[in-house]
Amino acid sequence: MRVVYSEDMVAPAQGGSPSAAKPTAVLAAWRARWPNLVVRPPVPVTYEEFCRAHSQSFVDDILALRLSNGFGTRSGAVNASLPYTSGAMLTAARWALSEGGAVAAPVSGFHHAHWDDAEGFCTFNGLMVTALALLAERPDLKVGILDYDYHYGNGTEDILQRLQPDGVVHVTAGEVWQQPEQAEAFLENIASDLESLGNCDLVLYQAGADPHVDDPLGGFLTTSQLALRDWRVFHGLRERGIPVAWNLAGGYQTPLSKVIAIHENTMRAAIEGNPPPLVAALKSGAKQQGLVSASG
């Protein structure tokens, strides 16, 4: 499995979210379990690339610390990480496009970032920065954004409505799926979501950990159901031959090890793609095999 990472992507956790510091902890957990990960550093995105997805005055105000970032703070360390967090997503997307398969960017903090507003732990929208950077080079490209974070991707939607770009298909689960009684229907609907992305050349997948039923900011899927979500996404995209760059998004359980356990299960799904014993266990409700417990 390929991962985009460098310490440049990381800043001290702040504003009540673990996200800024999470890449290091997640990579360490992944490496402990899968020592053969291939890691490449992110190419930072440029000022011009930020300005494709955001108003220039907003980008200027954020970078000059005249406006608070998505964590509600004004932090030079967070600002220094921003070209690398979006850059990790863009680098992962380019890597997936050039070689196929799945590439991980262990970053968060994208989908609530609007055209000219930072909110919800999100400053710049790395999903849209990535999609628009790729479309600027290849206008014929079709990029899917599959947002399975618990929360509605309102920032992504805002940028899409403002710019109306051809070539971006946006699916955000938080618009519809939120209650535990919807869990089975959500899992069944993944096939339909993948169908709507069927013509895409690349999918950006936000594998949010905050849909977990124990998450203080989310909560409708069990550990097994989250793992099945990820398996269906990676397996479905692989069957369709669509490359995927995926990232972490939200996850607010404490201690952080519970969130990291969910990100480990996502990596397992990305690597194994189609592990019959795991899926059989999930479907039968039998004892989970190989899954990392994300609660208790």
Question: Using CB under 5 A, which residues numbered 59 to 78 contact Zn ion?
Answer: none
- Report residue 205 as tokens: 């997948």
Nearest residue relative to Zn ion (C-beta)? 250
Out of 151, 212, 232, 268, point to the residue binding Zn ion (CB under 5 A).
151
Please identify, among the stretches 9-17, 100-108, 138-146, 148-156, the one whose residues bind Zn ion according to the rule CB under 5 A: 148-156
**Pick 8 or 119: Cβ nearer Zn ion:** 119
Is residue 268 a contact point for Zn ion (CB under 5 A)? no
3-state helix, strand, coil split of the chain in percent (to 5) is 50, 10, 40
Please identify, among the stretches 6-14, 86-94, 147-155, 239-247, the one whose residues bind Zn ion according to the rule CB under 5 A: 147-155
* Residues in binding contact with Zn ion, number by CB under 5 A: 5
**Pick 210 or 230: Cβ nearer Zn ion:** 210
Least CB distance to Zn ion at residue 36 (A): 31
Please identify, among the stretches 80-88, 124-132, 185-193, 250-258, the one whose residues bind Zn ion according to the rule CB under 5 A: 250-258
Is residue 263 a contact point for Zn ion (CB under 5 A)? no
Q: CB–CB of 208/148 below 8 Å?
A: yes
* Three-state SS annotation for 25-87: HHHHHHHHHCCCCEEECCCCCCHHHHHHHCCHHHHHHHHCCCCCCCCCCCCHHHHHHHHHHHH
Least CB distance to Zn ion at residue 223 (A): 17
Least CB distance to Zn ion at residue 120 (A): 7
Is residue 250 a contact point for Zn ion (CB under 5 A)? yes
Is residue 149 a contact point for Zn ion (CB under 5 A)? yes
Is residue 109 a contact point for Zn ion (CB under 5 A)? no
Q: CB–CB of 69/118 below 8 Å?
A: yes
Least CB distance to Zn ion at residue 206 (A): 9
- Please measure the distance between the N-terminal and C-terminal CA atoms of the chain and give it in whole angstroms: 29
Task: Output the CA–CA distances (angstroms, integers) from residue 48 to 45, 129, 156, 174, 198, in the order listed.
Answer: 8, 10, 18, 30, 30
Out of 49, 158, 193, 210, point to the residue binding Zn ion (CB under 5 A).
210
Distance in angstroms (rounded) separating the CA atoms of residues 214 and 254: 10
Distance in angstroms (rounded) separating the CA atoms of residues 245 and 261: 20
Least CB distance to Zn ion at residue 265 (A): 17
Distance in angstroms (rounded) separating the CA atoms of residues 230 and 162: 31
Is residue 147 a contact point for Zn ion (CB under 5 A)? no
Task: Output the CA–CA distances (angstroms, integers) from residue 129 to 160, 247, 267, in the order listed.
Answer: 11, 14, 24
Least CB distance to Zn ion at residue 217 (A): 6
Q: CB–CB of 148/207 below 8 Å?
A: yes
Binding-site ranges for Zn ion (CB under 5 A): 149-151, 210, 250
